[in-house]
Amino acid sequence: MDLKAVKKDLVAKIAAPRDSSRADPVDPYLPSAGNHGYRVTRYELDLTYKMSSNNLRGGAVITATATEPLESVQLDMSPHLEVAKVSLDRGRVAKYTRPRGKLTVTPAEPIPVGAAFTLTIRYSGNPRPIRGAWGEVGWEELTDGVLVANQPNGAASWFPCDDHPSSKAPFRIRLTTDSPYRAVVTGSLVGKKRSGSMTTWEFDLPQPTSTYLVTINLGLYEHLEVTGGKVPFRAYLPADLKRDFRVAFARQVEMIDVFTDLFGPYPFPDYKVVVTDDELEIPLEAMGMSTFGRNTAEAGTGDERLIAHELAHQWFGNAVTAAEWKHIWLHEGFACYAEWLWTEFSGGADAGSHALRYYSKLQNSPQNLLLADPGPKDMFDDRVYKRGALTLHALRLTIGDEKFFQLLRDWVAKYSGSTATTDDFLHMAADHSPVDLRPLWAAWLFSEPLPSTLGMPDDHAGRR
């Protein structure tokens, strides 16, 4: 055998240019979302939206770096958006095709590994939600406005992107729309200019952000500045909801302070809350902001747990994001447990009381969910939320409050701005634990039946 020839052939195969559409999905939970071969380093979006006709005209400038040699580049993009022109780097027109749900760009010459490149895409259309196993996600028209709910794969409904949580990048978004409407967009407002019947709003989001955490809200909203907390808190809502809002969100500032003490510094410059004029079945989290329906404001203090849940996602899900959707318990289990911690540290029932109640409920639920890998059908199942929270409570009982809360703060500090996995959390937890935690993880994360006890399995408690 000619070893030199074999080695040469292997090197050639490794270095051969590929397109970014491969049979192996980025994430098996959403096999059609996400793309191989490159890493986005920045999005710049210039959008014009006409409310009356639901018409969106967009320009996307996407800067990326090839992680392998590429003969073509794929982006996620709804078929409801029409592409007018694609150029690569210094204005060179690039060929493109539109396989369903994708935009495939083929440069004149392959892009070598490590090379930075910039795609400029001009497009337009009538954006609409993307239908999937979890309902409709993405761009959604309200009675008199718009909201964008991207989780898990709705970003492609309004801009071309690498739509996967592991792909984080900064954003700059410029949005021009009808002047009566206020735009509330992810990031900090850095510019506003009215021209005739249209107003242009410009937002900067320097933190690396997953596409599903970027959102747009358009409505006849008034701006309400809430003072008194450690973190600037801003609300945007219909004028008739101001009184209801002050009741329902009366403890929001205190909640931010409590979570800052428990989880570490708030990860972003400010916190924004949008209350739409429509009712919403569930609230929505985004980077540095949350969106609620008017029903939450009208509920008074009745929906306080939801307000706590969405705030907690700023630490768990937004700052620290799951590298794959199978690790969704790192978002939802943590945010659910934060609901219980809020009541405990604000004078209500302690987390243990909530844990006992939901442990009893889960005992009467189907015992066929693997928390560490629930499968795409069940990744938003309520059992992921509650069993995830119970897992954290079991850990807290095992290692004690001091080590538990230090672990949460260290977790956010280490992985903020990036992505993480269940294994990453288990490894960090091992460094904070005086006992071997493997039996606990085996019982709570890697077995379907609910454990027979809330804490460490009885026959392993205290063992190294």
The answer to whether position 233 is within a domain reads: yes
Of 280, 314, 348, the domain-final residue: 314
**Does position 309 have pLDDT exceeding 50, yes or no?**
yes
pLDDT in tens, 160-200: 999 999 999 999 999 999 999 999 999 999 999 999 999 99
CA 339 to chain CA centroid, Å, is 19
Amino acid at position 360, single letter: S
**Mean model confidence pLDDT for the chain:** 93
**Does position 15 have pLDDT exceeding 50, yes or no?**
no
pLDDT in tens, 236-258: 999 999 999 999 999 999 999 99
CATH code at position 195: 2.60.40.1730
Q: What mean pLDDT do residues 99-108 have?
A: 94
In this structure, are 30 and 87 located in the same domain?
yes
In this structure, are 76 and 188 located in the same domain?
yes
Q: What mean pLDDT do residues 55-78 have?
A: 98
Q: What mean pLDDT do residues 55-63 have?
A: 98
pLDDT in tens, 255-307: 999 999 999 999 999 999 999 999 999 999 999 999 999 999 999 988 999 99
Structural domains in the chain (count): 3
- Residue ranges of the alpha helices (H) in 264-350? 294-298, 304-312, 329-345
Shortest CA distance to 136 belongs to which of 114, 151, 121, 123?
151
The answer to whether position 8 is within a domain reads: no
In this structure, are 60 and 190 located in the same domain?
yes
In this structure, are 126 and 107 located in the same domain?
yes
* pLDDT at site 20: 56
* pLDDT at site 301: 86
In this structure, are 271 and 341 located in the same domain?
no
Of 275, 298, 314, the domain-final residue: 314
CB-based contact 242:222 (threshold 8 Å)? yes
In this structure, are 368 and 430 located in the same domain?
yes
Of 264, 289, 314, the domain-final residue: 314
CATH code at position 342: 1.10.390.10
In this structure, are 306 and 194 located in the same domain?
no
**Does position 10 have pLDDT exceeding 80, yes or no?**
no
User: Structural domain of residue 374, as residue ranges?
Assistant: 321-460
* pLDDT at site 459: 53
In this structure, are 375 and 258 located in the same domain?
no
The answer to whether position 66 is within a domain reads: yes
**Does position 325 have pLDDT exceeding 60, yes or no?**
yes
In this structure, are 158 and 22 located in the same domain?
yes
Q: What mean pLDDT do residues 390-409 have?
A: 98
The answer to whether position 7 is within a domain reads: no
Query: Is the pTM here over 0.85, yes or no?
Result: yes
Q: What mean pLDDT do residues 16-36 have?
A: 80
In this structure, are 171 and 32 located in the same domain?
yes
In this structure, are 206 and 238 located in the same domain?
no
* pLDDT at site 462: 40
**Does position 11 have pLDDT exceeding 60, yes or no?**
no
* pLDDT at site 133: 85
Q: What is the DSSP string of 59-121?
A: EEEEEEEESS-EEEEEEE--TTEEEEEEEETTTEE-EEE--TTEEEEE-SSPBPTT-EEEEEE
In this structure, are 226 and 284 located in the same domain?
yes
* pLDDT at site 13: 37
Q: What percent of the chain is predicted at pLDDT more than 90?
A: 89
